[in-house]
Structure 1
Amino acid sequence: MNSFSRSIDLLQREMNVANLRYQVTANNLANSEVPNFKRSTVNFESELKRAFDSEEAAKNAFHLTTTDPRHIQINTPYDYREVEPRRVLDYTTTSKANGNNVDAEYEANNILQIQMQYRLLTQLTDFEFDQVNTAMKK
């Protein structure tokens, strides 16, 4: 996969994750007064980093030849395209007397942050395509 395709793929995936984060955060905010409701978050970047780290490690690693699909493979890179965002439920904390752990102010700020991140991701995507257009004109 070339650099442009990988960049666009990563930007598109991150935009999808930002969209999911927005939905999860809006759900948290909407349920901020529901008794015993527990907030959720979205985990994606840490798994993505793990996939990239495994790609780097596999470049310099010792590789074994496998002749059967049942053989155990070692040092096989974790493909970043297989990384999926995970919803994580925070069931360990309680910040209100009714058992709810949603801080409405924090969630509202989180929505603003997600919106700014999404806007940045769209600008980065535009920049990538502008680079291609510039290269094609020359």
Structure 2
Amino acid sequence: MKIFSTSIQALEKGIQYSGAKHKAISHNIANVDTPNFKRKEIKPNFGETYQRALEANKTDNRHREFSSSSNKAFKMDNTSYSYSHNGNNVDIDKEMSDLAENQIYYYTLIDQMSGKFQSLQNVIKGGRG
């Protein structure tokens, strides 16, 4: 029996993704002036997530097992193009924009997670506030 719904697990994965993306963006910003530094980017690994979703919805244990290549819902991607003469490809404006977008995404997920836990708390209290 599952205590938490799959939506809470999905929110948790989203928060983990946002945290990893924040770390990569911060690393890029910190190395904006480092010669030959190549920016890193976190991308979602939808194939793995899709396979896990299919496996989670098997109706019989005799059904075929789904194989997976990795256990991560997101992956690191190194980009190789260069913006500046020193071989660095970090565009500070893009990084700051990505950071702001990721922050909004993170706070949205946290707000949704908070709402889920408030609903559970309300159920535990028997609907009494």
TM-score by length of 2: 0.76
Partner Cα distance (2:44, 2:12) in 1: 13
Q: Deviation above 4 Å: which 4+ runs of structure 1?
A: 56-59
Unaligned runs of 5+ in 2: none
Q: Please state whether the residue corresponding to 1:102 is helix, strand or coil.
A: coil
Between Structure 1 and Structure 2, which shows a larger proportion of helix residues?
A: 1
**Which residue of structure 2 lines up, in the alignment, with residue 121 of structure 1?**
109
> Are 1:131 and 2:119 counterparts?
yes
> Are 1:6 and 2:6 counterparts?
yes
Q: Is the 8 A contact 2:46 2:73 kept in 1?
A: no
Alignment of 1:73-84 (within 5 A): 75-77=64-66, 82-84=71-73
**Which residue of structure 2 lines up, in the alignment, with residue 102 of structure 1?**
90
Q: Is the 8 A contact 2:40 2:79 kept in 1?
A: yes
Alignment of 1:8-23 (within 5 A): 8-23=8-23
TM-score by length of 1: 0.72
Q: Which amino acid aligns with 2:110?
A: T
Residue 21 of structure 1: how far off its partner (Å): 0.8
Residue 47 of structure 1: how far off its partner (Å): 3.7
Residues 89-134 of structure 1: CA distance to partner in whole angstroms, max 9, x if unpaired? 112x122222111110000011111111111111011111122123
Count of aligned residue pairs for this structure pair: 123
Computed over aligned residues only, the root mean square deviation of the Cα atoms, in angstroms, reads 2.8
> Are 1:44 and 2:44 counterparts?
yes
Partner Cα distance (2:67, 2:3) in 1: 18
Q: Which amino acid aligns with 1:114?
A: N
Partner Cα distance (2:35, 2:2) in 1: 50
Residue 2 of structure 1: how far off its partner (Å): 3.8
Unaligned runs of 5+ in 1: 64-74
Q: Is the 8 A contact 1:15 1:118 kept in 2?
A: yes
**Which residue of structure 2 lines up, in the alignment, with residue 85 of structure 1?**
74
